[in-house]
Amino acid sequence: PFAALRPQKPDALLALIAMHRADSRLDKIDVGVGVYRDEAGLTPVMQAVKAAEGRLHAEQQSKSYLGAEGDVRFAELLMKLVFGEGQSDARRFGLQTPGGTGALRLGAQLLARAAPSSRVWLSEPTWPNHAPIFAEAGLATRLHPYFDVESRGIAFDAMLEALQQSRAGDVLLLHGCCHNPTGTQFTLEQWEALAALCNERDIVPFVDLAYQGLGNGITADGEGAHRLLDAVPTALVAYSCDKNFALYRDRVGALFVQTPTSDLGEVTRANALALARSLWSMPPDHGAAVVRTILDDGELRLSWGDELDRMRDRLNKMRVLLATAHPALTSVASQRGLFSLLPIAPSAVPAIRQTHGIYMPADGRINIAGLNEINLPRFVEGLLPHLEK
């Protein structure tokens, strides 16, 4: 059967990693790959994670199967971060998934089973994996305007206007915070307007929360989603712990679903579990057990929170430094998370790479965490002649 398959475009980011690795210049700068890095350019295991892994190693008595829902206490603890403290609404349930990607895919399969003709609205631009995840599940996707090239902020009015084309039952994917790739975030007023739009037009919001804590802090980064989720009857949330716990390769995530009634919630949960069984049977345990151990322990939770605060402070400090380098970069300071989309032409990117050893994707999306106080001046020097404003 494989003769029918078509060649696939190579992954541009992986190609960039390979080029960066092959570059022998000592002062090369990698702002491509999407992981957090410290001042020394490393992506370390967080201290609370190391401590939790030590405890698990000493105390875990069995690795027997858990079930398609994964670690139940993990999902329960995470639910408080997603929906707000004191929220144990019977209309809401959570299942552990392999990363945020697994949560998105499980949500997509659930939607495809429940409402195959619904269309999923994605921001233009968005994380490149969003469209394939929904398309592979059999759902049609539509793009709505999102990024305003002039202000380098959100084109909110244009977004709302495009969504007037939505049909009842359509799905609206929203980045909970730290939009990838633009670094933009909705204000609380905009979240409220989105909630009103979802209610008016009978749209189901699907919140992708992959960077909670890396914008303005755990609580602040969840606030917009809390307001939306409190205001609508039906919603999905794909959560990733891979960035805020730096557990990337351990694949830690959860899907949360909110339904109008608890009866509907029970049927929906049973369907989600059946789909999970056919996708991965059960999610991998280790990373979720680590997160559960941290969130369930006062001391580890504090340690995790402190380290996450330091990571976020470093990102935001680099944002301020970069923003002051040139007027065309001003908006970088008000953006949040790992990414920013810089105003440079794709055609300038290879020259910047060859001349200065600066590695970034052609769309100008940079990972702020690739910068530090030593390399930032060189980064700016390489970039400035190519800025479009």
Catalytic residue among 48, 155, 210, 325: 210
CB 179 within 8 A of CB 123: yes
Who's near 107: CB < 8 A, 6+ residues apart?
Answer: 206, 236, 238, 255, 257
Contact letters for ligand PMP, residues 206-225 (x by CB under 6 A)? --x-x---------------
Minimum separation from the CB atom of position 200 to ligand PMP (A):
26
Radius of gyration of the chain, Cα coordinates, nearest whole angstrom = 21
Give the residue with the Cβ less far from ligand PMP, 240 or 325.
240
Beta bridge partners of 142: 121
The contact pattern for ligand PMP, residues 113-132, with x = CB under 6 A and - = no contact, is: --------------x-----
Quick one: which of 126, 134, 223, 130 has its CA closest to 170? 134
Q: How far is the CB of 7 from ligand PMP (least distance, A)?
A: 25
Stretch that binds ligand PMP, among 80-88, 94-102, 189-197, 309-317 (CB under 6 A): 94-102
Catalytic site residue 127?
A: yes
99 binds ligand PMP (CB under 6 A): yes
Rounded to an integer, what distance in angstroms lies between the CA atom of residue 157 and that of residue 145?
9
Number of residues located near ligand PMP, criterion CB under 6 A = 12
Query: And the tokens for 159?
Result: 């977004």
Asked whether the beta carbons of 103 and 252 are under 8 A apart, the reply is: no
From 93-101, 155-163, 191-199, 342-350, give the range in contact with ligand PMP by CB under 6 A: 93-101
Distance CA 142, CA 131 (A): 9
97 touches ligand PMP (CB under 6 A):
no
210 among known catalytic residues:
yes
Contacts of 307 (CB under 8 A, 6+ apart): 46, 47, 48
Annotated catalytic, 3?
no
When binding is defined by CB under 6 A, the residue of 32, 183, 205, 253 that contacts ligand PMP is: 253
Using Cβ positions, the residue closest to ligand PMP within the complex turns out to be: 99
Of the ranges 7-15, 25-33, 97-105, 134-142, which one interacts with ligand PMP (CB under 6 A)? 97-105
List the end-to-end C-alpha distance of the chain, in Å, as a whole number.
51
Which is nearer to ligand PMP, 70 or 99 (by Cβ)? 99
**359 in helix, strand or coil?**
strand
CB 231 within 8 Å of CB 195: yes
Site string for ligand PMP, 231-250 (x = CB under 6 A): ---------x-x--------
Distances (CA, A) of 150 to 184, 328, 329: 14, 10, 11
Residues in the chain: 389
28 is catalytic: no
Which residues participate in catalysis according to the annotation?
127, 208, 210, 243
Q: Which residues bind ligand PMP (CB under 6 A)?
A: 34, 99-101, 127, 175, 180, 208, 210, 240, 242, 253
